[in-house]
Homo-oligomer: A and B are copies of this chain.
Amino acid sequence: MWSNAQDSALQERARAVIPNGMWGHQSVALMPESTPQFFTRAQGTRLWDADGNEYLDFMCAYGPNLLGYQQPEVQAAILRQMELGDTMTGPGPVAVELAEALTGMITHADWAIFCKSGAEATSMALVTARAHRGRRKILLAKGAYHGAHPWNTPRPAGTLPEDRAHLIYFDYNDLDSFADAVKQAGDDFAGVFASPFRHDTFTDQTLPDAEYAAGVRRICDEHDALLIVDEVRAGFRLSRDLSWAEIGVDPDLSCWGKVLGNGQPISCLLGNDKARKAAGSIFVTGSFWFSAVPMAAALETLRLIRETDYLERIREIGTMFRQRLVQQAAEYGFGLRHTGPVTMPMVLFEDDPDYRFGYRFSDTAMRHGAWLSPYHNMFINAAMTPGDIERALEITAIAFDDIRRNRASVQPSAKIAALLPR
Q: List the interface of chain A (C-beta within 8 A of B).
A: 10, 13-14, 16-20, 22-26, 28, 36-43, 47, 50, 55, 57, 59-65, 69-70, 75, 78, 82, 84-93, 95-96, 99-100, 103, 110-113, 116-120, 123, 126-131, 136, 148-151, 153-155, 157-160, 162-163, 165-166, 232, 257-258, 263-265, 267, 271, 276-291, 294, 371
Contacts and interface: CB of A to CB of B under 8 A. Distances in A.
Contacts of A103: 17
A154 B283 contact: yes
A232 to B, nearest CB: 7
A297 to B, nearest CB: 10
A337 B180 CA distance: 60
Contacts of A158: 126-131, 278, 281-282
Given A19-B113, A20-B280, A87-B65, A287 B92 contact: no
B89 A288 contact: no
Contacts of A118: 286-287
A39 B148 contact: no
Nearest to A280: B19
A44 to B, nearest CB: 11
A416 to B, nearest CB: 15
Given A117-B286, A126-B158, 20 more contacts: A18-B112, A18-B113, A19-B113, A19-B280, A24-B285, A24-B290, A87-B264, A116-B265, A116-B288, A117-B120, A118-B286, A123-B149, A126-B150, A128-B158, A131-B157, A136-B160, A149-B149, A153-B282, A154-B283, A232-B287
